[in-house]
A and B are shown apart, each in its own frame.
Chain A
Amino acid sequence: MTRWTGSDQVAIVGVGNTDFGALYREKGVQRSEYDLAASAFKAALEDSTLDKEDIDGLLTCRVSGYQKMATMLGIRRPRLINNFGAAGRMSAVAVQAAIAAILTGQAETVALVYGNNGRSVGATYGGGDPKEPAGEFDARYGMTSPGAYAGLMYQRYQELNKVPDGALSTLAINNRNHAKLNPYAVMSKPLTEDEYMASRYIAEPLRLYDYCLINDGSVALILTTVEKARTLNRPLVTISATAAAADIGAYYSSPDFYYEACRQVADDVYQQAGISQSDIDCVQIYDNFTPTIFFSLEGFGFCPQGTAWDWVRDGRIGLGGELPTNTSGGHTSESYMQGWGLHAEAVRQLRGEAGERQVANCETVQYICASPITTSHILRRH
């Protein structure tokens, strides 16, 4: 199989997002995912210094279709256009589609536009008509919601590795500590271990603070060739490596917690980028539920299998630690933008635009999503 050898040929030149905290504090407002997405697109375009006419590719995500989005944005005749569904795993998949299109000349400059009005429409991520392969069967037992399937994985992880109750609090608190330094974050109040332990269970062993937020917001990214990026007189951030490996089954509970999929993707991205785990300055890990951070750290070889719960302690994944993780506050404290917000944070860290939460001398950032479509990118600044 031919591996991608196009390292650093595609750049992320624009990032834009809504102020998640401000939207969250403004209660009782019904927002359209399209309006949200449009404002992020506008911000990303402005950030890139490109003109709208430069955009010849549009990939939308979570909105119900590309047609309305493109109409609203006045993108009349793009060479590339498509829509990706409302799943967290799709953010990196859409970015990979953009990279592939740019590398093969299908488009030169691709806008990726994501809009989420989950709070406005009262999204619950459980109950209702099941869509998973065995969902109709599961519902007969009251089994529903991605968090409950993640809970199954974590219960087994906990028993197999003799993990003490409350080990996930390190992750929830780490996210919150970082969110406190992020002006866009939804949650900025401190979170203590006592508060974490006293919070209610949703799908035991997972507690409230192990769950992603449900909020409105949007993110947009603009990708283009490195040649075009160099003409923009903006900080240059490129994609050094990207890979995916699916782990498909009837349940949103991987038998090995996505370990083999992560191993495969890790081998791919570190080989493509010619670096190893110790070269990563900070990592942005998809955390719809906190246990995915343990699964990701182990699967990508930051620590041995079964040990992440211990490895993360004592500030190791905090700012100033060995591996700052989810520096914007992740999905449990910044915003649930299904991986898109983590992509934006990766770029901002590399540009040195992360304000109080800036990782010093940040040159290499990794994005990881351990899920039925496990993905990772390595991004670099030049």
Chain B
Amino acid sequence: MSDLDDAYWAAAEQGQLVLQRCDDCGTYQFPPYKLCSTCLSDNVSWVQASGRGRIWSWIRMHQVYYPAFKDEIPYNVALIALEEGPMVMSRIVNAGDRTAACDDPVQVTFQQRGEATLPVFELA
């Protein structure tokens, strides 16, 4: 876990989904790096993301790989294409009776899991 990773989770604790944005070329990126992966500038800042995106795809995990998730099986995992461009792994919550589908619009919300606050998404 790098300092940059810590900054991402600290923002989530404050109820913010953040992304890195290059001060020079304006490109958003995730996961975070010290430099801009597009123009290699060192001037990269954290900015608040819109929290809007679409479900690129999703699965239901049935296999126990991490003991901490054993009691939640099967649980969904979704890869979200954020409006700003980057993709983030997350989960869909509050879908109710609706079945999530690829390309459905979603909005970020936050969920406590153990000591961490996770950005998660609900159908918009």
Contact = CB atoms under 8 A, between A and B. Distances in A.
Contacts of B89: 134, 137-138, 141, 143, 251
A156 B102 contact: yes
B31 A133 contact: yes
Interface in A150-184: 151-153, 155-156, 159-160
A156 B81 CA distance: 13
A253 interface: yes
B98 interface: no
B34 interface: no
A141 B74 contact: no
A123 to B, nearest CB: 12
A164 to B, nearest CB: 16
Find the residue from A133, A141, A145, A201 having the highest chain B CB count within 10 A: A141
Contacts of A204: 59-62, 74
Contacts of B59: 148, 151-152, 155, 203-206
A283 to B, nearest CB: 27
Contacts of A153: 57
A151 B79 CA distance: 11
Contacts of B58: 152, 155
A255 B56 CA distance: 9
A140 interface: yes
B66 A139 contact: yes
B90 interface: yes
Given A156-B57, A202-B63, A141 B31 contact: no
Contact-size category for B: 20 to 34
A145 B116 contact: no
B87 A250 contact: yes
A126 interface: yes
Interface string A118-145: 0000001011000001101111111111
A202 B66 CA distance: 13
Interface string B56-100: 111111110110110010110101000000011111000000000
Interface in A181-225: 200-206
B79 A251 contact: yes
A141 B57 contact: no
A145 B77 contact: no
A203 B116 contact: no
Contacts of A139: 66
Interface of B: 1, 5, 8, 30-31, 56-63, 65-66, 68-69, 72, 74-75, 77, 79, 87-91, 101-102, 113, 116, 118
Interface of A: 124, 126-127, 133-134, 136-145, 148, 151-153, 155-156, 159-160, 200-206, 250-251, 253, 255
Given A139-B66, A142-B75, 17 more contacts: A127-B66, A133-B31, A137-B88, A141-B91, A141-B118, A142-B65, A142-B68, A142-B77, A143-B61, A144-B65, A145-B65, A148-B77, A152-B79, A159-B102, A160-B102, A203-B59, A253-B57
11 contacts: A136-B1, A140-B116, A142-B69, A143-B89, A152-B57, A152-B58, A159-B57, A201-B62, A203-B60, A250-B31, A251-B79
